[in-house]
Amino acid sequence: MTTRRTVLTLGAASLLAACGRDDEVPAMMKPLPAPSVAPPPVAKLRSVADWTSVFMQSWDYQLQSSLPLSRSADSWDHYDLSYSVDSCVAMFRATGDGRYLDRALGFVENVAAAAAPSASLRHSSFHDKYLGWASSKNGEDGDEVPLYESYFWRYGTALLVAMRDAKAQNDRYRSLLDFAEVQVFEKWYSRGPKDTVYRDVTHLSAHWALIALNLAQITTDAGRKARYLEVAGNFDQRMHGQLRRNPVEPTAYFWDDNWGSAKRPGQDVSHGNGVMAYVLEARSRGTAWTRADMMGFSCLLTEVIWPGGTTYRGYVDGSGSDNGWFSDGFVKVGRYDAAAQMRLDSHRVVNDQFAGNMALNAKVLRKEGK
């Protein structure tokens, strides 16, 4: 667990040293060859309405199971709740139906309301001026846990972006924006970004990069925006340097989850979803990620991780086995590649987060005619 430390200001030039590494980020590799298979016509894909119908099958159950999690003061419960928030935000973006926005907003407001002063949290390592949540679940000892908070607030802040895009910037929006900026990002950055924001593995860093990316879209403070862009930009730079041509498929990407390493088997697929959640959203927000990058990740999913049927690999080099859970990240590649979306249309491991993001994929593909 981290301890209190002096605030660091981390620019791109000093990032590696601050993260405890003396080596240089590997040079960018040559572009991947383009896949040779033409994408299917968008009209053959399942529609937004199809996936909305799937999503609504668990609508009542989602409220029953997620509402208690949103009212909990233990941040481990918010970790699990994050999937419901993401699903509702995706459904709102796909359909414009306000009931999805209202549910996500209620969940996030409940989480914010459950925060307590750090000084009142008996086993906190910090006892500072900020609000937060302790966790005594999943093996934790009652301390504040940056992972659990970042895991939830990457989607809590995505809700705020969706509200801004829909011109729903009301008092509830402004209250949550202030909360996220101060009680989440500022709090953990002030406690030492080396240990809390610039994490030692890719997926932990990606959660904070997504929070920063989202807040950069909506903050009204120029100084804060510069810091958010710095955090997201640093992740972009390091992640690009981490990518390699996949050892088993030349059109696909490979990376290891430990910064500076290219060892096989590489990133595990389960946690790789966290990297995808950032990269695929960053592409839509006009950052450093290209169409070619999207195809490299798409081929990783369809050619390496999920080569067919119910065969699901555990690692990004195509080794091991897993359960086919792509809902929190890899599913989102479908909005950039109709061929991947067609494969995902028939996927058997489906929950509300998967269905919500498939609906959003379908909307994006039809809008852009991909």
pLDDT at residue 29, rounded to an integer: 63
pLDDT at residue 51, rounded to an integer: 98
Residue 61 lies in a domain: yes
Residue 42 lies in a domain: yes
Name the CA dihedral angle for 191, 194, 200, 204, rounded to a multiple of 10 degrees. Answer: 40
Residue 46 lies in a domain: yes
CATH code at position 221: 1.50.10
Residue 325 lies in a domain: yes
Q: Which of 314, 294, 318 is nearest to 246 (CA)?
A: 318
Residue 3 lies in a domain: no
**How far is residue 39 from each of residues 31, 33, 252, measured CA to CA in Å?**
20, 16, 16
Angle between helices 352-368 and 75-95 (to 10 degrees): 30
Question: Whole-angstrom Cα distance, residue 282 to residue 189?
Answer: 21
Q: Which domain holds residue 224?
A: 31-368
Q: What is the CB neighbour count within 10 angstroms for residue 331?
A: 30
Phi and psi dihedrals of 141, rounded to 5? -115, 20
Q: What is the CB neighbour count within 10 angstroms for residue 99?
A: 12
**Do residues 241 and 262 make contact, with C-beta atoms less than 8 angstroms apart?**
no
Residue 11 lies in a domain: no
Across the chain, which has 370 residues, the per-10-residue mean pLDDT values are 31 35 42 70 92 98 98 98 98 98 98 98 97 98 98 98 97 98 98 95 98 98 98 97 97 98 98 98 90 96 97 98 98 97 96 98 86
pLDDT at residue 367, rounded to an integer: 87
Residue 26 lies in a domain: no
Give the SS3 label for residue 298. Answer: helix
pLDDT at residue 33, rounded to an integer: 76
pLDDT at residue 21, rounded to an integer: 35
Assigned token pair, 160: 């705020």
Residue 312 lies in a domain: yes
Question: Whole-angstrom Cα distance, residue 189 to residue 195?
Answer: 9
pLDDT at residue 157, rounded to an integer: 98
Domain total for the chain? 1
Give the SS3 label for residue 315. Answer: strand
Provide the CB-side half-sphere exposure for 365 (13 A, CA): 28
